[in-house]
Amino acid sequence: MPRMTSSSTPKPDRTAATLTAIPDRNCTWCKVPMTKRLVGGGLYIHYTCPKCIFQHTSKREKKR
């Protein structure tokens, strides 16, 4: 009886890696790293400053 050979290679979770792929952005006023999250289905990056609550939204650029 042939053995069940499972060639399952561990694949990295792409959804978890998206946040780390977002470039950091410092607040224009406080110069502190802003909180970032993906909006619009991952098309836009929404930055929020934890100090002055300054918000900034930028469109993600597709890497070629």
Q: Are 54 and 63 in contact (CB under 8 A)?
A: no
Question: CA 31, CA 41: separation in Å to the nearest integer?
Answer: 28
Site stretch for Zn ion (CB under 5 A), options 1-9, 13-21, 39-47, 52-60: 52-60
29 near Zn ion, judged by CB under 5 A: yes
- Footprint of Zn ion on residues 32-51 (CB under 5 A)? 49, 51
54 near Zn ion, judged by CB under 5 A: yes
Question: CA 22, CA 57: separation in Å to the nearest integer?
Answer: 12
Residues that bind Zn ion (CB under 5 A): 27, 29-30, 49, 51-52, 54
